[in-house]
Amino acid sequence: MKVSVIIVTRDRKEDMRVTLDAYKRQTYQNKEIIVIDNESTDGTREMMAEEYSEIKYLWLPDNFDIRAINLGIEMSDGDIIWRTDSDSNPESEDAFEKTVKIFEENPDIHVIATEDIEVRRNFEPWDWYPLNVDKNNVPDDGFKSHCFPGTGAAIRRSVYDKIGGFWGFGFEEMDFCTRAIAADFNVRYFPNIRTLHYASPNDRNSPNRWVLISKQYIRYHWRYFPFWTALGRTTQIYIFQMIQGTLQRLPISALVEGAFGMLEVAFATYRNERDVVPEDKLEDITLGTTITRAQYKFVKQKLIGIFKRIFRKK
């Protein structure tokens, strides 16, 4: 099996150097690395030509956001697509060997979600997985999952060939996995395969990012959930996102844009994009968790982070 690492980047030259060197150190030899550059102007283009000429590289004259990953997949020829970010890499150098072995021994596993380790937060795991599991005793076939962190995931090419690629930035991993599950593919979580995420701070708290994520979250629910379920979930999301934006002290213009944008995208998605998941798949795409629980976990993580920063200062 060949592993194709697909990286989309924009103005992250130093992050890219760390990431590429780490992927080159993977002991599994049957691999390729493909970089799609969204209009970088920080010297990334020159660095790739001078230091990484052996890596497939495409510079785009415009910023196509995360959708550029689809171009990278089309340029690749691997059996396994390794979805990653330009500020992330596997913790162990044999991660690809472990991944290939899982796929070879488990033909009914189609997508592997790895553990996201937040390096700049004292190497704490990102608590994205909604179920309580024993991460010290991972079954040979992992844990059932409904999503994966974009920092590190392995996808059989057959999944991409059947359901297509990723939509624009914002919950693109969840959208992809929902389509995969609806098409009878299996997503499994392996917390013993760890991905280091250096979380580049660029634009992470920007008003534009908040507006886009808010709209995409609403879009996701109106696309896949039955009417009343979508209405209940998006009502909670709407309130939560507005509270979050206010606490982030975003400009009034961004809050207004987000408030009306979320409403607009709900109507547009209902009218043009409805693709409701079969009833017997609804629990698979949520793992039986509610929006309230997901938001509680998010708030809890934020508060813990705030308190830790306060006590460190003292």
Q: How many domains does the chain have?
A: 2
135 shares a domain with 248: no
Which domain, by its residues, includes 227? 207-313
For residues 100 and 19, membership in a common domain is answered with yes
**Are residues 164 and 234 located together in one domain of the fold?**
no
Decide if 202 is inside a domain: no
How far apart are alpha carbons 278 and 41 in whole angstroms? Answer: 45
End of a domain among 177, 197, 217? 197
Task: Looking at the structure, tell me whether residues 19 and 79 fall in a common domain.
Answer: yes
Task: Verify that 109 and 77 share a domain, yes or no.
Answer: yes
194-229 tens-digit pLDDT: 999 998 665 555 899 999 999 999 999 999 999 999
Bridge partner residues of 125 (DSSP): 117
CATH code, domain carrying 8: 3.90.550.10
SS3 content of the chain, % helix, strand, coil (to 5): 50, 20, 35
Please check the confidence at residue 269 and state whether its pLDDT lies above 80. Answer: yes
Same domain assignment for residues 169 and 212: no
Regarding whether 169 and 216 lie in a shared domain, the answer is: no
Q: Which of 52-61, 102-111, 201-210, 259-268 has the lowest mean pLDDT?
A: 201-210
Q: Which tokens go with 226?
A: 């039955």
Mark whether 30 and 108 lie in a shared domain: yes
Tens-digit pLDDT profile for residues 93-121: 999 999 999 999 999 999 999 999 999 88
Q: Which percentage of the chain shows pLDDT scores above 90?
A: 83
Among residues 148, 175, 197, the one where a domain terminates is 197
Q: Are residues 77 and 218 in the same domain?
A: no
- Kindly give, in sequence order, each residue whose CB lies less than 8 Å from that of residue 72, ignoring residues fewer than 6 positions away: 4, 6, 7, 8, 34, 35, 36, 58
Beta strand pairing call for 124-125 and 111-118: antiparallel
Q: 124 and 99, same structural domain?
A: yes
Q: Is residue 114 part of a domain?
A: yes
User: Which one of 174, 197, 220 terminates a domain?
Assistant: 197
